[in-house]
Structure 1
Amino acid sequence: MTLTIGLIGLGAMGSGMAQSLRRAGHSPHVFDVRPGAAEAFVRDGGHACATLADLGARCDVVVSVVVNAAQTESVLFGAGGDGDGSLAAAMQPGSVFVMCSTVDPNVSMAFESRLAKKDILYIDAPISGGAAKAASGEMTMMTAARPEAYAKAGAVLDAMAAKVYRLGDRAGAGSKVKVINQLLAGVHIAAAAEAMALGLREGVDPAALYEVITHSAGNSWMFENRMAHVLAADYTPLSAVDIFVKDLGIVLDMARATKFPLPLSSTAHQMFMQASTAGFAKEDDSAVIKIFPGIELPKKA
Structure 2
Amino acid sequence: MAAHTNVCVIGLGSMGMGAARACLQAGLNTWGVDINPDNCRALLAAGAKGAGPSAVPFAAELDAVVLLVVNAAQVRGILFGESGLAAHLKPGTVVMVSSTIASADAQAIAEALEEYQLLMLDAPVSGGAVKAAAGDMTVMASGSDAAFARLAPVLDAVAGKVYRIGSDIGLGSTVKIIHQLLAGVHIAVAAEAMALAARAGIPLETMYDVVTHAAGNSWMFENRMQHVLDGDYSPKSAVDIFVKRSRAGE
TM-score after normalising by structure 1: 0.79
Deviation at 1:128, TM superposition (A): 0.5
Deviation at 1:58, TM superposition (A): 2.5
Kindly provide the amino acid, as one letter, of the partner of residue 190 in structure 2. A
Where does residue 181 of structure 1 map in the other structure? 179
Q: Deviations over 1:108-161 (max 9, x none)?
A: 011100000110110100001111111111110000111211221122112110
Where does residue 166 of structure 2 map in the other structure? 168
Kindly provide the amino acid, as one letter, of the partner of residue 159 in structure 1. A
Deviation at 1:8, TM superposition (A): 0.8
Deviation at 1:15, TM superposition (A): 1.1
Deviation at 1:55, TM superposition (A): 3.9
1:151 match: secondary structure: helix
Aligned partners of 1:73, 1:11: CA distance in 2, in Å? Answer: 18
Match for residue 65 of structure 2 among 46, 62, 67: 62
Match for residue 97 of structure 1 among 95, 98, 115: 95
Q: Which moved more, 1:124-133 or 1:53-62?
A: 53-62
Kindly provide the amino acid, as one letter, of the partner of residue 144 in structure 2. R
Kindly provide the amino acid, as one letter, of the partner of residue 77 in structure 2. S
Match for residue 157 of structure 1 among 143, 155, 158: 155
Where does residue 35 of structure 1 map in the other structure? 37
Where does residue 274 of structure 1 map in the other structure? none
The yes-or-no answer on 1:207 pairing with 2:199 is no
Deviation at 1:23, TM superposition (A): 1.3
1:49 match: secondary structure: strand
Kindly provide the amino acid, as one letter, of the partner of residue 190 in structure 1. A
Where does residue 12 of structure 1 map in the other structure? 14
Aligned partners of 2:60, 2:114: CA distance in 1, in Å? Answer: 17
The yes-or-no answer on 1:49 pairing with 2:51 is yes
Deviation at 1:52, TM superposition (A): 2.6
Aligned partners of 1:221, 1:73: CA distance in 2, in Å? Answer: 33
Question: How many residue pairs were aligned?
Answer: 247
Where does residue 228 of structure 1 map in the other structure? 226
Match for residue 117 of structure 1 among 115, 118, 128: 115
Kindly provide the amino acid, as one letter, of the partner of residue 207 in structure 2. L
Q: Greater relative contact order (Cα 8 A, min sep 6): structure 1 or 2?
A: 2
* Preserved CA contact (<8 Å) 1:49 1:55: no
* Preserved CA contact (<8 Å) 1:27 1:45: no
Aligned partners of 2:246, 2:150: CA distance in 1, in Å? Answer: 33
TM-score after normalising by structure 2: 0.94
* Preserved CA contact (<8 Å) 2:67 2:95: yes
* Preserved CA contact (<8 Å) 2:91 2:117: yes
Over 3 Å counting, the alpha-carbon distance change for 1:233 and 1:70 in structure 2 is farther
* Preserved CA contact (<8 Å) 2:106 2:169: yes
Q: Which runs of 4+ in 1 moved over 4 A?
A: none
1:166 match: secondary structure: strand
* Preserved CA contact (<8 Å) 2:142 2:168: yes
Where does residue 218 of structure 1 map in the other structure? 216
* Preserved CA contact (<8 Å) 1:52 1:86: no
* Preserved CA contact (<8 Å) 1:12 1:238: no
Structure 2 segments unaligned to the other structure (5+ residues): none
Aligned partners of 2:242, 2:94: CA distance in 1, in Å? Answer: 29
Q: Deviations over 1:22-52 (max 9, x none)?
A: 1111120111111231122111211223323
2:173 match: secondary structure: helix
Aligned partners of 1:218, 1:167: CA distance in 2, in Å? Answer: 28
1:102 match: secondary structure: coil
Aligned partners of 1:49, 1:159: CA distance in 2, in Å? Answer: 19
Kindly provide the amino acid, as one letter, of the partner of residue 174 in structure 2. K
Kindly provide the amino acid, as one letter, of the partner of residue 70 in structure 1. A
* Preserved CA contact (<8 Å) 1:144 1:174: yes
Kindly provide the amino acid, as one letter, of the partner of residue 25 in structure 1. G
* Preserved CA contact (<8 Å) 2:21 2:46: no
Q: How does 1:184-195 map to 2 (within 5 A)?
A: 184-195=182-193
